[in-house]
Chain A
Amino acid sequence: MTLHDAARKLLEEHKVQGVLGYRKGSLPFRTRPYLFRDPCEIEELVFTPFCGLNLARYLLFLPQGIERVAIVAKGCDGRACVALVRENRLRRENLLILGVPCPGMVDTRKLAEWEGLKEHEVTLRGGEIVVRGVAYPLASFLDASCRRCRYRSPLVYDILVEGGEVPSLPQEDTLRELRSLPEEKRWEFFRKELSRCIRCYACRNACPMCYCKECFAESHKPSFLHPSPTLRDNFVFHIGRAMHLAGRCVECGACERACPLGIPIATMFLAVSDTVREHFAFEAGVDVTAPAPFVTYREDDPNAFIR
Chain B
Amino acid sequence: MRLSGNGVVVTREAFLEWLSRGKTFVTETVARRFHPPFPSVPTPKAVLLPQHEALYRFFWARRTWNVHPLPPEGTPILLLAAPCEVKAVTDVLDAVFLGNAPQDPYYATRRKNLILGALGCTFFEATCFCTRVGGHPLSREGADFFALPLSSGMYFEGEGVSGRPLASSEKEELEALVADLEKTAPPPFPEKTPEYLYEAFGRDIWEDIAWGCLNCGACTFLCPTCFCFDLALEGRLRGAMIRTWDSCMFPKFTLHASSHNPRSHPMQRVRQRILHKFSYHPLRKGVFGCVGCGRCVALCPVNWDIREAVERVVSCAL
**Direct A–B contact in the complex, CB atoms closer than 8 angstroms:** yes
A positions within 8 Å CB-CB of B? 25-28, 30-35, 53, 57-58, 61, 63, 198, 200-202, 204-206, 213-214, 218, 226-230, 254, 257-258, 260
Could you list some 26 contacts between A and B, CB below 8 A?
A25-B305, A26-B303, A27-B297, A28-B126, A32-B212, A33-B212, A58-B212, A63-B211, A200-B217, A200-B221, A201-B218, A202-B217, A202-B218, A205-B215, A205-B217, A213-B251, A218-B250, A218-B251, A226-B232, A226-B244, A227-B232, A228-B242, A228-B244, A229-B51, A258-B218, A260-B299
Task: Check A227 against B52 for contact (C-beta < 8 Å).
Answer: yes
Top 9 A-B pairs, shortest CB-CB distance: A258-B301, A25-B303, A228-B52, A205-B216, A205-B214, A260-B299, A200-B218, A202-B216, A227-B244
In chain B, positions 190-215 with a C-beta closer than 8 Å to chain A are 207-208, 211-212, 214-215
Task: Check A228 against B308 for contact (C-beta < 8 Å).
Answer: no
Q: How far is the CA of A205 from the CA of B298 in the complex (A)?
A: 18
Task: Check A228 against B51 for contact (C-beta < 8 Å).
Answer: yes
Residues of A within 8 A of B216 (CB): 200-202, 204-206, 258
Task: Check B303 against A32 for contact (C-beta < 8 Å).
Answer: yes
Whether, in the assembled complex, B304 has its beta carbon less than 8 Å from a beta carbon of chain A, the answer is yes
Minimum C-beta distance from B128 to chain A (A): 12
Q: How far is the CA of A157 from the CA of B250 in the complex (A)?
A: 34
Task: Check B303 against A230 for contact (C-beta < 8 Å).
Answer: no
* Closest B residue, CB atoms, query A207: B214
Task: Check A201 against B217 for contact (C-beta < 8 Å).
Answer: yes
Q: Of A30, A53, A230, A257, which is in contact with the most chain B CB atoms at under 10 Å from its CB? A: A30
Minimum C-beta distance from A228 to chain B (A): 4
When A and B form their complex, what is the total count of cross-chain residue pairs whose Cβ atoms lie within 8 Å?
Answer: 95
Whether, in the assembled complex, B76 has its beta carbon less than 8 Å from a beta carbon of chain A, the answer is no
17 additional A-B pairs beyond A63-B211, A205-B217, beta carbons within 8 Å, are A26-B305, A27-B127, A27-B297, A27-B298, A34-B212, A57-B214, A63-B207, A200-B220, A202-B217, A204-B216, A206-B214, A213-B251, A214-B251, A227-B232, A228-B52, A228-B242, A258-B216
* Closest B residue, CB atoms, query A198: B221
Q: How far is the CA of A28 from the CA of B214 in the complex (A)?
A: 20
Q: How far is the CA of A35 from the CA of B210 in the complex (A)?
A: 12
* Closest A residue, CB atoms, query B54: A228
Task: Check B308 against A26 for contact (C-beta < 8 Å).
Answer: yes
* Closest A residue, CB atoms, query B234: A226
Given contacts A205-B216, A218-B252, A228-B244, contact A198 B51 (CB under 8 A): yes
* Closest A residue, CB atoms, query B220: A200
Q: How far is the CA of A56 from the CA of B39 in the complex (A)?
A: 40
Task: Check B305 against A33 for contact (C-beta < 8 Å).
Answer: no
* Closest B residue, CB atoms, query A262: B299
Residues of B within 8 A of A34 (CB): 212
Q: How far is the CA of A204 from the CA of B251 in the complex (A)?
A: 13
* Closest A residue, CB atoms, query B299: A260
Whether, in the assembled complex, B246 has its beta carbon less than 8 Å from a beta carbon of chain A, the answer is yes
Minimum C-beta distance from B49 to chain A (A): 13
Cβ contacts B108-147/A at 8 Å (1 or 0 each): 0000000000000000001100000000000000000000
The contact of A260 among B215, B218, B244, B266, by CB within 8 Å, is B218
Residues of A within 8 A of B305 (CB): 25-26
Residues of B within 8 A of A204 (CB): 216
Task: Check A229 against B299 for contact (C-beta < 8 Å).
Answer: no
* Closest A residue, CB atoms, query B242: A228
Q: How far is the CA of A204 from the CA of B305 in the complex (A)?
A: 20
Q: How far is the CA of A53 from the CA of B302 in the complex (A)?
A: 7
Whether, in the assembled complex, B230 has its beta carbon less than 8 Å from a beta carbon of chain A, the answer is yes
Whether, in the assembled complex, B222 has its beta carbon less than 8 Å from a beta carbon of chain A, the answer is yes
Minimum C-beta distance from A31 to chain B (A): 7
Task: Check A27 against B303 for contact (C-beta < 8 Å).
Answer: yes
Q: How far is the CA of A25 from the CA of B297 in the complex (A)?
A: 10
Residues of B within 8 A of A58 (CB): 212
Q: How far is the CA of A148 from the CA of B220 in the complex (A)?
A: 33
Residues of B within 8 A of A229 (CB): 51-52, 244
Task: Check A226 against B298 for contact (C-beta < 8 Å).
Answer: no
Q: How far is the CA of A260 from the CA of B262 in the complex (A)?
A: 29
Q: Of B52, B126, B244, B302, which is in contact with the most chain A CB atoms at under 10 Å from its CB? A: B302
Cβ contacts B276-297/A at 8 Å (1 or 0 each): 0000000000000000000001
Residues of B within 8 A of A33 (CB): 212, 302
Residues of B within 8 A of A26 (CB): 297, 303, 305, 307-308
Q: How far is the CA of A123 from the CA of B301 in the complex (A)?
A: 22
Task: Check B242 against A226 for contact (C-beta < 8 Å).
Answer: yes
Minimum C-beta distance from B284 to chain A (A): 27
Residues of A within 8 A of B217 (CB): 200-202, 205
Minimum C-beta distance from A267 to chain B (A): 18
Q: Of B217, B232, B303, which is in contact with the most chain A CB atoms at under 10 Å from its CB? A: B303
Residues of A within 8 A of B242 (CB): 226-228
Residues of B within 8 A of A53 (CB): 301-302
* Closest B residue, CB atoms, query A206: B301
Q: How far is the CA of A28 from the CA of B303 in the complex (A)?
A: 11
Residues of A within 8 A of B51 (CB): 198, 228-229
Minimum C-beta distance from B303 to chain A (A): 4
Task: Check B222 against A260 for contact (C-beta < 8 Å).
Answer: yes
Q: How far is the CA of A204 from the CA of B207 in the complex (A)?
A: 22
Minimum C-beta distance from B203 to chain A (A): 15
Residues of B within 8 A of A57 (CB): 214
Minimum C-beta distance from A12 to chain B (A): 22
Q: How far is the CA of A63 from the CA of B299 in the complex (A)?
A: 25
Residues of B within 8 A of A214 (CB): 251-252
In chain B, positions 226-276 with a C-beta closer than 8 Å to chain A are 230, 232, 234, 242, 244-247, 250-252, 266
Q: How far is the CA of A31 from the CA of B234 in the complex (A)?
A: 41
